Amino acid sequence: MSYGSPAAGPEQVPVCPRHPDRVSYVTCQRCGRPACPECQRPAAVGFHCVDCVRELAAADQGRKARTVYGGTARPGGRPVVTFALIGLCVLVYALQWLVPNDEVYQDFAYANSAVLTAQEPWRMLTSAFLHSQGFFLHILLNMYTLWLFGQALEPYLGRIRFLAVYLLSAVGGSVGYLLLAPPPATAVIGASGAIFGLFGGLFVVMRQRGGDVRQLLVLIVINAVLGFVIPGIAWQAHLGGLLTGAAATAVIAYAPRGRSRTAVQTGGLVAVAVVLAVATLVRVSAVPVPAGLSL
């Protein structure tokens, strides 16, 4: 420890930077500058000066609020993606009626055909936005269920993660239909596979957060049984969507917190997509290609 000497001159008196006429021996715990009583603000430890308080407040405003699983929280928490998906399905349904010769159905429906899957794989997704023209309750019930489960699940996951789960579940439903539906090839349309994915996703979220899943489980079982009881319902697509949605949501919900969480979630969702792609390729490659067709 060193001491000043008379020869060194008087020690400089600390003054408040905002009020140079005021002596202050209290310093800001953040920047270390003196702060007079007027410029002091209580902090967790000691005091902060008003300048540091303003800087911290500006940083907090610039920092994005996050959902439970790391998504960007939006003001009001409106399920915008859910509404957009409903709107898109309604728009496509209107086009099914307006476009002549049933071209929308012919161009975008999916069938459990290895050849069709290999040549036009996008149908595995686009079919989820088509609905039966001969049964209006098909789109009505699907959109109502999407509205119910979307507004429950989207605020937890965030928009991008929710959309990823929905689209993966839609494809997963088509993969389930490709793998499990017996020949001959039959067309399948509707958002049911993706919606079953939301069933699985909400089940995972409720279990992870310690909620009571009994009522949801009963609802899933009832809807699954209907696929075996009512003719014309593709239970294979329901099962594929359910398992895919549960897997995709589990990747999001159980990713460790921290800076790497988004990377882990992204990698996990990509892994789910790769599994679906590999399952599709294995099924397609196992079917002989008819003469005259090139894949």
Six token digits for residue 192: 């049911």
Q: Is 19 a catalytic residue?
A: no
The residues facing 240 across adjacent strands are: none
Average pLDDT over residues 61-87: 78
The CATH number of 78-285 is which of 3.10.580.10, 3.10.450.50, 1.20.1540.10, 3.30.390.50? 1.20.1540.10
Q: Name the residue ranges covered by the structural domains of the chain.
A: 14-62, 78-285
Q: Is 132 a catalytic residue?
A: no
Q: How far apart are CA 239 and CA 174, in angstroms?
A: 10
Assess whether pLDDT exceeds 60 at residue 1: no
What pLDDT digit, counting tens, does each position of 237-258 carry? 999 999 999 999 999 999 998 8
Assess whether pLDDT exceeds 60 at residue 291: no
Which pLDDT belongs to residue 59?
A: 59
Q: Out of 192, 260, 285, 294, which one is annotated catalytic?
A: 192
What pLDDT digit, counting tens, does each position of 130-162 carry? 999 988 999 999 999 999 999 999 999 999 999
23-27, 46-50, 70-74, 281-285: range with lowest mean pLDDT: 70-74
The 8 Å CB, 24+ separation contacts for 283-291 are 283/114, 283/117, 283/178, 283/179, 284/114, 284/117, 284/118, 286/114, 287/114, 287/115, 289/115, 290/115
Average pLDDT over residues 167-192: 94
Helix (H, G, I), strand (E, B) or coil at 23: strand
Give me the count of residues in the chain: 295
Assess contact for 156 and 149: CB atoms under 8 A: no
Six token digits for residue 288: 């002989």
Q: Taking all residues of the chain, what is their mean pLDDT, rounded to a whole number?
A: 87
Q: Out of 113, 238, 260, 285, which one is annotated catalytic?
A: 238
Average pLDDT over residues 23-30: 81
Q: How far apart are CA 202 and CA 154, in angstroms?
A: 10
Assess whether pLDDT exceeds 60 at residue 183: yes
User: Is residue 70 very low, low, confident or very high in pLDDT (cuts 50, 70, 90)?
Assistant: confident
CA torsion through residues 111, 112, 113, 117, sign: positive
pTM of the model: 0.77
β strands within 176-277, DSSP E: 187-188
Assess contact for 82 and 151: CB atoms under 8 A: yes
Assess whether pLDDT exceeds 50 at residue 293: no
Which pLDDT belongs to residue 4?
A: 40
